[in-house]
Structure 1
Amino acid sequence: MAEAIRNIYCIGRNYRLHALELGNEVPDSPMVFTKPSHAAVPMDGRTIELPGDRGEIHFELEIVLRVGQSYQSGMAADECIDAMALGLDLTLRDVQSKLKAKGHPWLDAKGFKSSAPLGEWLAYPGWERLQEHEFALVKNGVEAQRGNSRDMLFHIPQLIGHIGGRFGLGAGDLIFTGTPAGVAALQDGDVLEAYWADKLAGSCTIKLA
């Protein structure tokens, strides 16, 4: 995990099938929300404790980018990124549904403690080569999600330009780039394993308390 995580930007509905599986409209521009840095926790085989009394918590496996160089207008997106990981955007889905119905922000559903588990940091191969590999989440020995960055609605160069131009990007910022279809509720004792190019890149056991 990065030693000095700053802002955590997240992209919602960046895979068409995931948007549709939740009955959401497919966006026509990147949908950005944030998590506090306190949400980050290593996904290094440890047990991660999550609230068990606030409704369903859904897993969402995502490619996570780490910014190593501050964004400047016109720079190539790959120049900003110094590493990647697989991470989980954990979501209190029942809480989120209530917030959405009221038109309220999602922070309570997306930003709770330990809601952003992060696997090991890997070398970032660049946007073009990133699309050569798939990523997958295995839950209790059964594959639950599989995706490829080429299926993103808004590709990484678009995300870097959008976030960097509107909000700014600096060293230590993270970008959760969206999840493919297959999200579902977690149960107490679930064992999650994240794979990049069929190699284990992070794991954890869930404890609902």
Structure 2
Amino acid sequence: MLSNIRNVYCVGRNYRLHAEELGNAVPDEPMIFMKPSHAVVPLNGEAIELPASQGEVHYEAELVVQIGRSYESGVALEDLIESYAFGIDFTLRDVQTVIKKKGHPWTAAKGFKNSAPVSGFQAFSGTEALLDKDFTLTKNGVEVQRGNIRNMIFDLQHIIGYVGQHYGLGEGDVIFTGTPEGVGPTVEGDVLELAWDGQSVGKCTIAAAK
């Protein structure tokens, strides 16, 4: 349920080939940033308005997990994750390039309205089920990203332990777990569609914010 989402944590550069495609160093510990909960919108086939006057907007497809109870050290992953979905971490890439050079926070590039659309959540049945299948993103019917969480630099257990220990985790919190290679720009009129094991889980049409 999108209505009960609280904190929105995101993991940056969690796939080696994605870090390399942007010319970034591969991190030695999780890179965590946040989006406002107001950035989350349903990926339900409707138009999503994105900024049109701040340079390129890039798509980044990701597995999203939702937490069902408060984090405590040593609690099993299966007892913490309640459900999972797939989402897009929209990024103002030109804005991000500038603020990275200045050493400023990423909020302006990552936290704008509608920057975190998410598909419907499904009950979490364990990590093994997620390792068996790929998720994909198509743009106008052409596959642009394909990912599998087995290729993540930091696995779900590591991510949740790190976020829980450093920032806290509670019921309703979600984590965008990182994007594979293939990120790129999207413009008004593009149709983006996320699929899991070849089955569509959510789509949207890009519109320019007025």
- Give the match for residue 145 of structure 2: 145
- Distance (whole Å) between structure 1 residues aligned to residue 118 and residue 12 of structure 2: 18
Give the aligned residue type for 1:43. Answer: L
Cα contact 1:41–1:118 (8 A) shared by 2: yes
Quick check: 1:197 aligned with 2:194? no
Tell me how large the CA RMSD over aligned residues is: 0.7
Q: How far off its partner does 1:125 sit?
A: 2.5
Q: Which residue of 1 aligns with 2:119?
A: 119
Give the distance between the partners of 2:59 and 2:120, measured in 1 at CA.
18
The within-5 A match list for 1:24-173 is 24-173=24-173
- Per mean C-alpha deviation after superposition, the further-off stretch among 119-128 and 104-113 is 119-128
CA distance in 2, matches of 1:94, 1:195: 28
Structure 1 window deviating more from structure 2 (128-137 vs 175-184): it is 128-137
Q: Deviations over 1:127-148 (max 9, x none)?
A: 1221011000011000010000
**Structure 1 runs not aligned, ≥5 long:** none
Structure 1, residues 65-121: CA drift from partner, whole Å, max 9, x if none? 011111111111121111100000000000000000001110000000000000111
Identity %: 56
Give the Cα–Cα distance (whole angstroms) in 2 for the partners of residues 17 and 79 of structure 1. Answer: 31
SS class of match (1:45): coil
- Corresponding residue for residue 12 of structure 2: 12
Runs of 4+ in 1 over 6 A off after TM superposition: none
Whether the aligned pair in 1 keeps the contact of 2:2 and 2:42 (CA below 8 Å) is: no
Q: Distance in 1 between matches of 2:86 and 2:175?
A: 11
Tell me, yes or no, if the aligned pair for 2:2 and 2:40 is still in contact at 8 Å: no
Question: How high is the TM-score relative to the length of structure 1?
Answer: 0.98
Count matched residues: 209
Distance 1:181 1:124 in 2: 25
> Given that residues 85 and 122 in structure 1 are in contact (C-alpha distance below 8 angstroms), is that contact kept between their aligned partners in structure 2?
yes
